[in-house]
Structure formats: C-alpha cells, structure tokens
C-alpha cells in the first residue's frame, strides 16, 4: 500500500504495518528503506516493471503507530 505523509507530502510504502520511504529512485529501479532508520536494515528494491530485485523485511523494532485517513498517513 502506498500513502502520502501528512507532514511533508512524501510517498510512503506500508508492508505488514511497517513504513518505508523511497531512498533511491532511478529509471531502472526504486529502493525503499524502513522509515525508522538507525540500525534497522529492512528494505526492498523493485524494477520499473514492478519486479522485486531485493527484499529484506526483518525489522529490529516494533511497528510504528499511525492512522490512514483518505490515503494520508498520520503518525500518532
């Protein structure tokens, strides 16, 4: 699921309750990383054809608390 972040208007991806931001975007692929940052190594990469190149969804922290209203992400 993709949503818009309320504070900045940036696009976020949500997988299994965890949030990701697009860290690298180019013509061939998009690399998404966990929004928590720090030591969390969770990330995924897919091609412009939506084929998964890399997928590591193991987090070192609990899911963030948030609401989604009309496609807008609101952190609580």
- Confirm if 27 and 11 have CB atoms less than 8 A apart: no
Mean pLDDT of 65-72: 83
Query: 0.85 exceeded by the pTM?
Result: no
CB 19 within 8 A of CB 35: yes
For the segment(s) 2-70, the CATH number from 1.10.3470, 2.20.25, 3.40.720, 1.10.287 is 2.20.25
And the tokens for 44?
């995924």
Q: What is the pLDDT of residues 28-61, one digit of tens each?
A: 999 999 999 889 999 999 998 889 999 999 999 9
């Amino acid at each position: 699921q993709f949503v818009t972040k309320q504070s900045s208007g940036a696009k976020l991806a949500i997988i299994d309750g965890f949030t990701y931001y697009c860290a690298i975007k180019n013509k061939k692929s998009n690399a998404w990383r966990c929004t928590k940052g720090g030591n969390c190594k969770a990330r995924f990469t897919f091609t412009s054809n939506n084929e998964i190149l890399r997928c590591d969804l193991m987090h070192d922290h609990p899911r963030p608390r948030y609401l989604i209203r009309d496609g807008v992400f609101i952190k609580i």
